[in-house]
Amino acid sequence: MKLYLAGPMRGIPEFNFPAFHAGAAQLREAGHVVFSPAERDIAVTGVDISKGNATGDNALAEAQHGFNLREALKDDLEFICLHADGVALLPGWTNSKGAQAEVATARALGLIIMTIDEAALKTANREGK
């Protein structure tokens, strides 16, 4: 299944990248194709924007690395709209305006929405593990 990984980033130390990296690895281990916004941000800027950003401050990431929130959200929503079968949710997603927008988009499209643990189990159960 093609999954978008949603969760809180702004205002969290290192933009919560460690949780996104662990979540993406867990989902891939279960056989999913994963779009992680943390990986997208690193790929587009060419640098890990989370390093040295203890407060998850967008203005700092923009000043230091050229991070552009509008471009990031465009890419995230494009994947959801054009490619995703579902959205896997990291803990704390309800506290994130971005994750709420991503979930609302997925709901509008009729995509599957589940926690990251449910997504990992869904594939494992289907494969008889």
Q: Do 67 and 49 touch, CB atoms closer than 8 A?
A: yes
The residue type found at 48 is D
Considering the entire predicted model, what is its pTM? 0.93
pLDDT tens readout for residues 79-94 = 999 999 999 999 999 9
pLDDT tens readout for residues 83-126 = 999 999 999 999 999 999 999 999 999 999 999 999 988 865 55
Q: Which CATH architecture has domain 2-126?
A: 3-Layer(aba) Sandwich (3.40)
Q: Do 78 and 51 touch, CB atoms closer than 8 A?
A: no
pLDDT at 37: 98
